[in-house]
Structure 1
Amino acid sequence: MSFEVTYNGDIQYIKVFYSTEKTRAGKYYGEFYKKMDALASDLKRLKQELDEDCEKAAKIAKDAANKALSERFGSLRYIIDEHLWDQDIVISKILDDRKEEMLALAQKTFNNEVLLEEDGAEEYKIHLDEGGIEVDGKSVETSIMEFFDSDDYHESNEAKLEKLEKLDWFIIWSRTEAGEFRTEGGQHEGNYSSKELNMEDCLLTYRDLPLVNPSNGTDIFSNELEIHFVDETRASLEISES
């Protein structure tokens, strides 16, 4: 007797592009990574300078504003509110310019062909928690939330993010698809047992095989491309055909 197990829910495909020895040596896009590294290095320096100067610059700006108010309206009639003043009001125009250069370079370089074919990128996929298990097309009373609520699931995702956040820059492509996902080969012999359902690397598995092969096509719910900068900001990139 054979049966088929499927996860009827969402899967997220993730591909991350960043500078490595392999990507910098690439025949087609190696120069892109080198140029991004140079811009990111300059951006990192500018961010450090801003961090060192922003408090002093903010005080200069506040003192100048109070002086201008005093000269225009009389002494102490109006002053800058200390509680509302924030040193983050000071930004670096040249830092923002560098980010715009990186954004423009990435937008010029990345299209569907690059996203699909750049082999130096890091790729992985995860299951998302709004779904259920079916056996031969029928829902079964199998709780899977314990897998998604587990420390392993969250820690694995957080570890990937922490690794990326240490980089000077990276570009991440994430695509979420909904459908019915089965194991490679599809059919299993014997009888279904919920005890053989597990999770490994944020993917539900049955008999140690990940439920990642679409059985009837999928619907794309999101398709996002973002560049992350060393100053912990990000910007969206448009996914172009060519």
Structure 2
Amino acid sequence: MKTVLITGANKGIGFETARQLSQLNYYVYLGSRDQEKGLEAFRQLKELGLNNIETIVIDVADIKSVREARAELEVKIGSLDILINNAGIAGDQPQNLAAVSIENLRRIFDTNFFGAVQTTQEFLPLLKKSGQGAIINVSSETGSLVVHTAADRNSNRAKYHAYGSSKTALNAFTVMLANELYDTGISVNSVTPGYTATDLNQFQGAKTAEQGALPIVKLATQSQPRVTAKFFKDVGEAGW
């Protein structure tokens, strides 16, 4: 049974990803920065008859918490097959980059970018022991430079400029890390759930959380060592 750690898995897309992978017979570690919220998510999944799940406290923006989570997992498993860097925050509005506060921008990057980087670094030794480990970074079209340089630059989602820039940085991390790890058997890819209704956007998205989780689950279940440094969406590849 393959093992999966999902950060930010107590709600929204992370929770749905955990549910779907658990139903596909993956052993899922539900990462949550709040222990009680993680336990509540665990109880909900147990009520669905899913037993191949555990909770783990991890605040990706806190390196001490990340290291404690890694140490806890090392005791339980010899290797980790898949790391899904899903935890993220939208930040406060407005986010026009000409005036956004540095405090707001830094807080967004601390979770969405630096949090993913330090979580990946800490769990990389366990992923290397898998033989064919996979790192999946949950990104967004708002981080796509292709989208932002397209003819229509004034979509409703364009207001998330600070959030989007953190996802652009995450995509760059995906490509560069994939190149570094190319000969290790570990794949590194980004994936966008699409515009999904979660508390991240005040439930304004067009997709349900269940639908948003589908491309993540698809990538997780079809990961291959040589399919790496790519950006996926629900149908095919997304533009960087």
Shared fold (TM-score greater than 0.5)?
Answer: no
Larger Cα-atom Rg: 1
Q: Higher relative CO (CA 8 A, sep ≥ 6), structure 1 or 2?
A: 1
What is the TM-score with the length of structure 1 in the denominator? 0.26
What is the TM-score with the length of structure 2 in the denominator? 0.27
| Higher-strand-fraction structure | 1
| Higher-helix-fraction structure | 2
